[in-house]
Structure 1
């Protein structure tokens, strides 16, 4: 409904403000009535995983999108504004993905609940709510392995046997599933690798599930044994640098050495002469 204001009417300023307010309320009411709320349930997640909430599609074209926690688009619950700016409910783990989707990394059980996307389209506003549930991370239990794993790592040569065994008791009996690098590779209490190949290298995890709980093993990574270290050539040892002199310093050193030699010879001769003289004097006195 549109209200036309006649510039020439006799209504005063107060009436004009009232009419404008009514027109704005009517516009908001029409926009609110054009919202099409819906609820989409996403697959359950485990703590530590990443959640991806795709942006809803609209046949009218999306001009802007904002995200909120909960079912209501309250300012205090805003995660991202239509301009893509973080809001009061932003925790630092949320990012905007392609085409306005919402990505949440390292989800926790506190992230379970509804998330509302508010779309601004050519035809008005549209509200879409998505629900995610986050389960507790399954506890980890050790595996028995052959060869023995050291800090979750087994080193083995190709064509050798590797055995991984589930040794945790669960009641009722669980269904055990083995995965290699995230892909299912076996079932049962033991995973027996008869002849290890390169395709069987990687990280193994066993998951036990019964009607009460879900338990996962600690990951065990199978690697090739490290080859013997190849000796490396010793680095050449440079000889100690020798002192070399030339020019004036060399002549000076030579002269100093010669004078020192002359002084030494003279001292020896003088000492010998004095000794002989003393001996002659003693002989004369005795005679």
Structure 2
């Protein structure tokens, strides 16, 4: 015969205590290998800014925290050990925050990715993975004439225009450098008549508060001269030079030749005169 559903109500508290004891035992056995999901969607920060990764949930019962780069807690990726000491993954810009959190200053593109915090608590060890996306400020440089592999080629006395565009808001202060030295301000840098003194490397610099971002450098140069390296230079007027005994021999031969010519001319004149006298 079946009992009514409320027949065991007198034993309800005992069963509740038994279930609670089983739950506590299970929580003490299994949490050592548990991994909690990320507490929030990936944070998006800009280059040069700071990031703050808090410890998720409450810190009740947490004895220590340690931070690692990546999805796994490995010795070679340790940022901070449970004792708060920097590890191999520490770059010098990370520092412990309040309540076991992690603070990263002056974020760079290399800082993007996942960070894992390991919580050592009275009930065991838990790990939580946080993600950071770093958005880099883009400083673009448009030119006329167009660049080819970072080089602008233009003839002398022609105009060269450099135009700097950024995605930084509010608008930053834009300046230019030429061979590492200041060269004007404003979005556009116009070289109206290119001279040899203007040949060199230009770069656009965007400043906002304490942050500074630069474009890729561009070189302004003269056009390349097309020369066939297989052609050998030809000397149109070769000059023969002699010295020493060769020069003396050449001089004597020239003198002898001149004497022969003079004698021949004299002989010819004498024959002509003899012929004239005979005819008379």
Instruction: Tell me whether the two structures share a fold, i.e. TM-score over 0.5.
Output: no
TM-score between both structures, scaled by the size of structure 2 = 0.40
TM-score between both structures, scaled by the size of structure 1 = 0.39
